[in-house]
Amino acid sequence: MSGLGLMAIGAGLFQVLLSALLLFGGLFQGLSRRLFALVLLGVAGYLVAPLVDSHPVGWVLAVALSTMVPGMFWLFCASVFDDHYSFPAWQPALVALSVILPLLFEGLGLPQGGAGDWLLRGLPQFLEFVFLALALWAIFRHWREDLVAGRRRLRFWFCASAGVFIFVLILSREVLFEDASWLQETQYLATALVLLGTNALLLRYPAGFFDPIHRPEPLMAPDAESKDPETPPGAAQQLAHIRRLVVTEGIHREHGMTIGKLAAAADIPEYRLRSLINGGLGYRNFNDFLNRFRIDEASERLADPGEVRTPVLTIALDVGFRSISSFNKSFKDTHGVTPTAYRKAHAGDPETH
């Protein structure tokens, strides 16, 4: 490898170290930090691989680390941008499978082109593209409902651009230009530049999106001012206006309610409304904000003996939920029991009335 290639690898490794210093002041606390640590570890393996290609054990280990980058990038994006992400066991198991199968192929010394090649190398390669597609889905799925300004910016400038770069890099290396000599050094130079841009963004937008979800607070009284420095001045009166729209006029019951529609109804710019709900009330997701009022109203109706025969589905649709499944999930997340069990505990069993 030429001196330019070595310089690119060295610059990339320096940027990986800088990313770790920028983001891991919390000593790897939290799922998102740990997953991003694994992404960086995989990138480091990718950069180191050409330096240890003459050492079989070191090369295999470096390649194994680099192979886990797409999968870990997907899990990282899901953990950051989905406020209800639960880290199901099958997801890391699938990522681990995409790493283990190519190692098994190398260890068994199977010939290329056979059934073993397709299963142990082709399938993991296909999974890499699936992981990146899932990462982009996680990035953009809740973009409109995201109330955290810095995290909204990072969805595109950091994660989406990084995901597209990883996709293009893997497609070029493993499919389109597998043996192209010009790619051997260009890929490391491009990676170093992307890492440099990533660190520039992380310096601009600190690691606040790694922080735990704030505990939502009750809507403030009209004469109270938020102490959160991110909340705009005069927020109390605007929050009181939002209270009237939600509590008195029941705007949360409208199906398809969006933050844009609420901003129009409240005559508040959308960006300011996002800041009010996030900074003043602690919500990171607009749907969670709406669902709080929907669940409160549904709870009152389920506990009302006069509505003991009203179907749960009717109540769910009346308060603004689109389906019984989404209502049941939100209700159980809030109260720890199903709506039916809650009704039995508070209003009695309808079969006895």
Please indicate, yes or no, whether residues 84 and 12 belong to a single structural domain of this protein: yes
174 assigned to some structural domain: yes
Q: CA-CA distances (angstroms) from residue 125 to 25, 102, 128, 175?
A: 34, 9, 5, 10
Q: What is the CATH number of the domain that holds 338?
A: 1.10.10.60
Q: What confidence score (pLDDT) does residue 223 get?
A: 41
Distance (Å, whole) CA 321 – CA 252: 9
Bridge partner residues of 276 (DSSP)? none
62 assigned to some structural domain: yes
341 assigned to some structural domain: yes
Q: What confidence score (pLDDT) does residue 27 get?
A: 54
DSSP H helical segments within the chain, as ranges? 3-23, 31-48, 56-67, 69-81, 90-108, 115-117, 123-141, 149-154, 161-171, 183-204, 235-243, 259-266, 270-275, 281, 286-302, 312-318, 324-335, 339-346
Please indicate, yes or no, whether residues 252 and 316 belong to a single structural domain of this protein: no
Boundary of a domain, candidates 188, 210, 232: 210
Please indicate, yes or no, whether residues 260 and 303 belong to a single structural domain of this protein: no
Across 146-185, b (16+ Cβ under 10 Å) vs e yields: bbbbbbbebbebbbbebbebbbebbebeeeeeeeeeebeb
72 assigned to some structural domain: yes
Please indicate, yes or no, whether residues 269 and 309 belong to a single structural domain of this protein: no
Please indicate, yes or no, whether residues 325 and 267 belong to a single structural domain of this protein: no
Q: What confidence score (pLDDT) does residue 341 get?
A: 94
DSSP three-state, residue 146: strand
| Predicted structure pTM score | 0.83
289 assigned to some structural domain: no
Please indicate, yes or no, whether residues 139 and 276 belong to a single structural domain of this protein: no
Range of the domain at 99: 3-210
Please indicate, yes or no, whether residues 106 and 170 belong to a single structural domain of this protein: yes
**Tokens coding 21:** 């210093």
The alpha carbons of the chain give a radius of gyration, in whole angstroms, of: 25
Please indicate, yes or no, whether residues 93 and 191 belong to a single structural domain of this protein: yes
Boundary of a domain, candidates 161, 191, 210: 210
Q: What is the CATH number of the domain that holds 152?
A: 1.20.1070
Please indicate, yes or no, whether residues 52 and 194 belong to a single structural domain of this protein: yes
What does the DSSP 8-state code read for residue 221? P
Please indicate, yes or no, whether residues 84 and 178 belong to a single structural domain of this protein: yes
Please, what is the average pLDDT of the chain? 84
Below-50 pLDDT ranges, the chain: 213, 218-229
Please indicate, yes or no, whether residues 69 and 109 belong to a single structural domain of this protein: yes
Distance (Å, whole) CA 312 – CA 203: 49
Domain count, the chain: 3
User: Residue written as tokens 């499919």?
Assistant: 175
259 assigned to some structural domain: yes
290 assigned to some structural domain: no
Boundary of a domain, candidates 157, 192, 210: 210
